[in-house]
């Protein structure tokens, strides 16, 4: 690295590819490129992967019946959804297929359901069936008696987006990709419409190709290189997450009829057994992930129309995510920059960007190949990665066996989610450095008490394991320190 600290060795020479952004899209591209003999580096401004939009969405693997036929979104969604089961199995990431229902509140809505079904067929989606009110009530006993019927999409699935980004990172790293965290791309050095060096908060780096996967900031990254071909409008979606105790209120992912701009407010189970309600849709600013009283009321009153018994006293947390929408093109923008020879833009990755991440990564690789990059398969590529052993998922016999091997699995640190010290040690060994990094890898702090019990214990443990003072332990990197000083000497 020139002009700054040498964060990692071996980066003085020109790299083949720099990926900007470690969301699910950037990490999927990193993993896909790790199949080839290439020198690849991913730069992320946060301390970990998946902390942008990837951590705040509905986590649905959409089958692809919704996007307008002929769009890139329609093509990549349907292909991504088909790739999802095998990717999740290779990378040991949760994937469940509860199926989804698109509800109609009146008889007229059946026409729209028919249109959606036809659109799905055109997009290559199968297993779509329009069901009657009686069939719906049998499958969803808690649903409002006002609903008239639904489009049943049997293959709609749910996953864990941040776990997927973490797994993609780990697998890409296993296969030689390097990651630079806490490093912000701040500009480019240009020469004859080419980026000759990427300026970062920790020095400059040289690379033959630059892939811009910076989510809601992808338009700003492109502009830094003199490319103003697209504009991202952040569109906020707010959510309420309910306790696992009421996770079985709903058996499928429940959608209303979609509008031109949104799939609407959902009521759905999560892969971990919680109940999730949201998101609404409001244009905002790129730094606004607040949940407002009006926003929350909007989401909850909608949910209550479909599920009148929605137990509002069971909400354990609220959050919001920002969709990266290009309101002009209304499609994914995945292309060689029209202004910069060695920049590939991966922008406008709004929903269904998670579902499409596997196919986006292949599409980007194909663009690079078409542009002349030599893709020589690496015979050493390993597609598999093992996740952290979840103590709570094991049988009593398996738990006893694990504790016999390592006593750290005999100590529960998060009482809500039954997370053991052994799992925290494994998370830190794999690169977690913050409370959020541990939460997303192990679920410690994700349960009913939201870290009230395990938080202080985790701070002590992180401090011990990383050999840093407790004052340096952060929730999510710089400026989010958990302990500011001693109250008693
Ligand atoms: C409310 C909501 C609901 C959604 N529901 C679904 C769904 O159910 N199913 C589905 O398929 N999709 C869904 N999506 C869409 C999906 O979440 C996104 O398409 C996907 O997460 C985008 O991933 P990404 O990697 O492009 O962006 P991000 O996850 O935002 O990653 C971009 C990364 O770039 C980094 N970065 C930015 N600027 C810089 C810089 N200058 N230097 C270094 N790093 C930088 C950021 O820190 C960030 O980590 C939803 C989105 C929202 C908001």
Shared domain check, 126 and 17 = no
Shared domain check, 115 and 257 = yes
Which helix (H) or strand (E) segment is 444 a member of? none
Shared domain check, 134 and 9 = no
- Number of structural domains the chain divides into: 3
- Mean of the per-residue pLDDT values for the chain? 95
pLDDT above 70 (res 161) = yes
Shared domain check, 81 and 167 = yes
465 CA → ligand 1 middle, Å: 31
Residues with CB under 6 A from ligand 1: 20-26, 43-46, 51-54, 57-60, 62, 184-185, 213-217, 221, 237, 279, 321-323, 349-355
- Smallest CA separation from ligand 1 atom 21, residue: 54
Kindly state whether residue 484 falls inside one of the protein's structural domains: no
Residue 261 neighbours by CB distance under 10 Å:
13
Q: Which of 31, 45, 55, 62 is catalytic?
A: 62
DSSP secondary structure, 177-217, as one string? -EEE-S--EEEEEEETTEEEEEEETTEEE-EEEEEE--GGG
Long-range contacts of 457-461 (CB under 8 A, 24+ apart): 457/413, 458/413, 458/424, 459/435, 459/483, 461/413, 461/421, 461/424
Which CATH number belongs to the domain containing residue 140 in this structure?
A: 3.30.9.10
Atom number of ligand 1 nearest to Cα 46: 47
Kindly state whether residue 67 falls inside one of the protein's structural domains: yes
Shared domain check, 453 and 442 = yes
Select from 18, 21, 30, 254 the residue to mutate for testing ligand 1; criterion: most ligand atoms less than 8 Å from CB: 21
Kindly state whether residue 132 falls inside one of the protein's structural domains: yes
pLDDT digits (tens, 9 = 90+) for 227-244: 999 999 999 999 999 999
> What pLDDT shows up at residue 9?
57
> What pLDDT shows up at residue 484?
85
> What pLDDT shows up at residue 95?
98
pLDDT digits (tens, 9 = 90+) for 168-217: 999 999 999 999 999 999 999 999 999 999 999 999 999 999 999 999 99
**What is d(CA 214, CA 217) in angstroms, rounded to the nearest whole number?**
5
pLDDT above 80 (res 13) = yes
215 CA → ligand 1 middle, Å: 5
Closest of 357, 391, 464, 245 to residue 365, by C-alpha: 357
278 CA → ligand 1 middle, Å: 17
Which structural domain, as residue segments, surrounds residue 41? 1-95+159-229+327-384
> What pLDDT shows up at residue 8?
55
Shared domain check, 464 and 411 = yes
| Cβ burial, residue 486 (10 Å; 0-12/13-18/19+) | exposed
Shared domain check, 349 and 311 = no
Record the tokens describing residue 98, joined without a space.
């509860």
| Cα within 13 Å of Cα(63), Cβ side | 27
Shared domain check, 269 and 225 = no
- What's CA 307's distance to the chain center, in Å? 27
- Smallest CA separation from ligand 1 atom 41, residue: 185
324 CA → ligand 1 middle, Å: 7
Shared domain check, 168 and 295 = no
Kindly state whether residue 487 falls inside one of the protein's structural domains: no
Select from 19, 20, 22, 23 the residue to mutate for testing ligand 1; criterion: most ligand atoms less than 8 Å from CB: 23
> What pLDDT shows up at residue 485?
81
78 touches 152 (CB < 8 A): no
| Distance set, CA 478 to CA 21, 393, 427 (Å) | 18, 33, 20
114 CA → ligand 1 middle, Å: 31
Which CATH number belongs to the domain containing residue 396 in this structure?
A: 1.10.10.1100
- What are residue 204's DSSP bridge partners? 2, 199
The region of weakest confidence among 250-254, 305-309, 333-337, 484-488 is 484-488
pLDDT above 60 (res 452) = yes
* Alpha carbon distance, N-terminus to C-terminus of the chain: 44
Shared domain check, 401 and 280 = no
- Smallest CA separation from ligand 1 atom 35, residue: 21
Mapped onto helix, strand or coil, the DSSP state of residue 403 is: helix
Atom number of ligand 1 nearest to Cα 51: 49
Closest of 144, 1, 152 to residue 63, by C-alpha: 152
Shared domain check, 91 and 168 = yes
Closest of 185, 186, 210 to residue 196, by C-alpha: 210
Q: Angle 72-91/353-370 helices, nearest 10 degrees?
A: 100
How large is the average pLDDT for residues 308-312?
96
331 CA → ligand 1 middle, Å: 15
Kindly state whether residue 137 falls inside one of the protein's structural domains: yes
Shared domain check, 84 and 47 = yes
Kindly state whether residue 478 falls inside one of the protein's structural domains: no
Residue ending a domain, choose from 363, 384, 405: 384
Q: For this structure, is 282 an active site residue? A: no
Residue ending a domain, choose from 325, 348, 372: 325
DSSP secondary structure, 22-69, as one string? -SHHHHHHHHHHTTBS--EEEE-SSSSSS-SGGGSS--EE--SSSSPT
- Smallest CA separation from ligand 1 atom 15, residue: 351
Atom number of ligand 1 nearest to Cα 59: 8
């Amino acid at each position: 690295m020139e002009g700054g600290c040498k964060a990692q060795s071996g980066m003085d020479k020109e790299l083949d590819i720099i990926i900007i952004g470690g969301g699910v899209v950037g990490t999927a591209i990193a993993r896909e490129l790790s199949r080839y003999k290439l020198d690849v580096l991913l730069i992320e401004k946060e301390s970990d992967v998946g902390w942008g939009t990837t951590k705040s969405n509905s986590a649905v693997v959409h089958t692809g019946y919704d996007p307008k036929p002929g769009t890139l979104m329609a093509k990549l969604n349907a292909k991504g959804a088909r790739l999802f089961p095998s990717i999740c199995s290779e990378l040991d990431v949760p994937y469940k297929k509860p199926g989804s229902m698109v509800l109609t509140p009146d008889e007229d809505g059946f026409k729209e359901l028919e249109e959606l079904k036809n659109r799905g067929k055109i997009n290559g989606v199968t297993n779509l069936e329009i069901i009657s009110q009686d069939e719906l009530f049998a499958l969803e006993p808690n649903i409002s008696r006002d609903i008239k019927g639904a489009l049943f999409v049997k293959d709609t699935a749910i996953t864990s987006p941040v776990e997927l980004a973490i797994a993609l990172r780990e697998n890409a790293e296993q296969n030689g990709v390097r990651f630079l965290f806490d490093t912000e791309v701040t500009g480019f050095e240009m020469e004859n419409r080419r980026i000759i060096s990427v300026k970062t908060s920790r020095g400059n780096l040289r690379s033959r190709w630059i892939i811009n996967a910076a989510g809601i900031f992808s338009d700003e990254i492109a502009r830094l290189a003199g490319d103003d071909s697209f504009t991202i409008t952040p569109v906020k979606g707010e959510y309420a997450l309910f306790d696992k105790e009421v996770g079985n209120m709903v058996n499928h992912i429940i959608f209303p009829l979609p509008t031109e701009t949104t799939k609407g407010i959902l009521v759905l189970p999560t892969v971990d057994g919680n109940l999730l309600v949201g998101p609404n849709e409001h244009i905002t600013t790129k730094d606004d992930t607040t949940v407002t009283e009006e926003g929350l009321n909007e989401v909850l009153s909608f949910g209550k129309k479909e599920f009148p018994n929605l137990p509002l006293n069971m909400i354990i947390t609220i959050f919001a995510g920002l969709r990266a929408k290009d309101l002009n093109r209304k499609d994914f923008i995945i292309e060689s920059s029209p202004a910069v020879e060695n920049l590939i833009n991966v922008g406008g990755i709004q929903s269904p960007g998670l579902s499409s991440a596997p196919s986006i990564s292949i599409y980007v690789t194909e663009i690079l190949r078409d542009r002349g990059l030599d893709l020589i398969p690496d015979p050493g590529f390993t597609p598999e990665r093992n996740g952290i052993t979840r103590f709570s998922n094991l049988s009593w016999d398996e738990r006893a066996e694990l504790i016999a091997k390592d006593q750290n699995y005999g100590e529960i640190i998060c009482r809500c989610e039954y997370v053991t010290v052994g799992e925290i040690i494994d998370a830190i060994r794999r690169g977690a450095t913050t409370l959020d990094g541990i939460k997303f890898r192990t679920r410690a702090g994700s349960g009913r008490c939201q870290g009230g019990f395990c938080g202080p214990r985790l701070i002590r443990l992180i401090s011990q394991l990383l050999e840093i003072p407790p004052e340096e332990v952060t929730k999510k990197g710089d400026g989010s320190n958990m302990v500011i000083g001693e109250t008693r000497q």
